[in-house]
Structure 1
Amino acid sequence: MLIQKLILLLALVVLLLLFTVVTTMAVVKEHDRDTKLKQRMMEAVVPSARPTTQIDDELSLVRTRSRADILKERAAASIGVDLKQAETYPIKWWLVPPLAAILDWVLMFILSHPMGGYPVLWYVTEWFGSPIAWYVIDRFIFNWFTNRRNTKLIEQFPDALNTVVRCVRVGIPMAEALRTVAKDAMEPTKMEFGILADKASIGIPLDVALRELAERVKLTEYQFFATALTLQARSGGGITQTLETLADVIRKRVGLKARGYALTAEARTSAMVLAVLPFFAGGVIFLMQRTYILVLFTTKAGESVLGAAIVLMILGMGTIQFMISNVLK
């Protein structure tokens, strides 16, 4: 009975948290809409109130952000969401927090068995550990989305640079070279260069479009690429040698990372075996001696031992993955 009440209370807390998040986003969106409307009305009624200088004309090419936009981006970034790349996620980003809440509820349900006999410890875990676990799960999912996409971008970037170099050497303008990459490259490089080529084709200066590309992708290789092209566009000179050198450096880094994966193959295989072995052994024991394994599901002590074992296994797998990721970085 106590476990059912705690589960119901946890579900209520999760629902209240989701309601708070949705309400906050709605209020921020409405405030942003009102701010933009007032700004447009002010510009229409008092057009002379906005001075036109060369600096204003240059900055107007980049989308201005209101305070509500900044607050929204900071709030999303606190759980690992990059709103500039939200459309590239495999699923809608606003579906991840509810999924993380469900996983958090499952984790708390597992923990309730070994900790149910210790009211003080369980109270602290439920009210303080549950939000922390939800936050960690959110950031893990969004970081996994971002890292997977960044890995593809880095692996495809040398080929994109070589395409640009070949186009420039035969006399094709830079804008058309970027368009060629957008047509021939694979996703997600195709989308990023497509956005860059579209902005250049509608009259946005190339340095402004490149700056937006570097801010959106947030990769050192793309930032160096944007800087090199910006300097070439402003001061002139050859760009092919610089891009070839950059492509060669990126290829060496990709090869070094592949070597790291090869060297950590034993550790990754061990982690996989350790993760599968308990389930395989439990299945074999269930087939050979069913009454022996059912103790873990039919008695309170068995449920406590099973819950503690699952939590410790999750922590162990997470620790191994964290160590491997640090080595590969």
Structure 2
Amino acid sequence: MDFFNDHKKLFSSALAFFLCLTLVICILPALDNQRVIQPLPNAKHLTAQETRGKLIYIREGCVACHTQQVRNIDMDQVFGSRPSLSADYALNKRMSFLQNTATLMGSERTGPDLTNIGARQPSKEWQFTHLYNPRAVVPASIMPSFKWMFIEKEQLGPNDIEVSVPDEFKKGVKGKIVASQDAKDLVAYLLSLKQVELPSNIPVREFLYKSEKKEAANSGKGGNLPDGAALYTANCVACHQASGEGLPGAFPPLKGSSVVLGDDLELYITIIMKGYNARVPEYGVMPPVGTTANFKPEEVAAIMNHERTSWGNNAKEVTAEEVKAIMDKIK
């Protein structure tokens, strides 16, 4: 009973017991995880600019609305090609001794997951426009505008990036909208967020609770192709819009487009696979969407047929064989 009456012995024993539990339950497993979980072979460290962008991402509270974790359930498949693994976060380190921001996995999806946003939306122009005013590219967006990260200038400097913003969102703007260094750094960080392809010796986890998905057949001369409308929605609609009319002052229309309706399939396919710089002031540079998404000839053909036969367009459909021949040629 003397033990319970001696407060020094009692509290010393309780402290020793707490420290032992902390060591066994927290510290040793964490050290073992650091030893066992290694970065994936193709994983890349953030550059200095991307690291600054990560700090801005934290500063602006982006983590409150966006996650960076693709769960292994079917509804998360839109955010990445596979569920996230512990190894995906192995390169993340503490920002400082007092800042434990090694991972920004988040806990709420007011906005979409950003794990693979660098691959899902690789266009710098789109990212800058979306940051300036999200409603300019996503009408239903509830994301706040980050206009304070942009500058108005009369003349562009040598390193300035002008942001393509539709006229209806430029009210009160007298000069050119230019991205600040903070905006450049933040976009650089967002574009660095890409899922690393797994080595052949690591099995890919499956998405659970899959719902049945009907493969849409394209009855044209292209034969059975994937759902072109779904592919367009996943890869193109953010810039060119569901109506195919694009965004005046930002992204060109596909409705009535001479490229979409024309017979120069090599130009059309090259634009999809390798991107395009029209060198027209009102439109931004298109990124290599097809290459980034690893499109197969069947997928390119399906998207082309959707664009060539939608919104009043009435052009001849293409076949996967035609597309493959041109893709092999332009590699």
Shared fold by TM > 0.5?
no
Kindly name which structure, 1 or 2, has the bigger radius of gyration based on alpha carbons: 1
- What's the TM-score once normalised by structure 2's chain length? 0.26
* Structure in which a larger fraction of residues adopt helix: 1
- What's the TM-score once normalised by structure 1's chain length? 0.26
